[in-house]
Amino acid sequence: MLVERKTVPDLHLSLERGRLWRQIGRLRRAAALPYLLVEGHDLDAGSIDPIALRGTCLAVIGQGVALIRSDDPSDSAMWLRLLAERVSGVRPGRDRPAYAQRLKAAPALVPEAMLAAVPGISVVGARALLARFGSVSAVLAAEDSEWMRVRGIGPRRAAALRSAIS
C-alpha cells in the first residue's frame, strides 16, 4: 500500500504543470494498493475548472488508484491510521457491526447454486433438475437423456452439464 497525499492547491498545481499523470504512473508502479489522498475543504479552490477537476478524479480512479478525500491534516491522519490497521490486519473492537454481518447461505440454496454455476444452467433450470431428481448427486448420476426430460434442459444444456462434471 502506498498513499500519495496532496493538498487541494497542490492537486491544482500538479494538473497545471502537467506533473499529475507522471506522479500517478509512479504511484501505480510502486504499489499494489495505490491511494491518492486529497486534503482540503474545497476541491474547487484553485484554477482548474470544477468539471475538469472531477473528470481528473474519475480518471485517477479509472487508473486503479483509490481516491480518498479529507478535510484537514487531522482527518488525513485518521484515514492513514485506518489504512495502516487494515493492511496490518489489526481491527479495533468487533470484526463487524451486527448490520454488516454476512448472511449465511440457506442450506437449501447450496445445491441450486452448485447446478446454476454450470454455464448454460440457470437458477430456474437448476431448480427444475432438483425438483425432478431430488439432489445434486442424483442429478449427477442421471443420464443426459433423463436430464433432457426436464423442462428447459435440451441437448446443449445437457452437454454443458455433462462437460462440467466429466
12-42 confidence digits (pLDDT tens):
999 999 999 999 999 999 988 899 999 999 9
Q: Which residue has the cell 495505490?
A: 34
* Per-residue model confidence (pLDDT) at position 1: 86
Question: In angstroms, rounded to a whole number, what is the distance separating the alpha carbons of residues 2 and 122?
Answer: 42
Q: Do residues 1 and 83 touch, judged by C-beta distance below 8 A?
A: yes
CA distance 58 to 62: 6
Task: Answer yes or no: is pLDDT of 8 > 90.
Answer: yes
What per-residue confidence (pLDDT) applies to 35?
A: 95
Query: Cα separations (Å) of 54 from 48, 60, 101?
Result: 10, 10, 34
Model pLDDT for residues 92-118, shown as the tens digit of each residue: 555 666 556 565 666 767 888 889 888
Mean residue pLDDT of the chain comes to 89
Q: Is the pLDDT of residue 57 over 70?
A: yes
The percentage of residues in the chain with a pLDDT greater than 70, rounded to a whole number, is 89
Domains of the chain: 2-91 (3.40.50.10130), 109-165 (1.10.150.20)
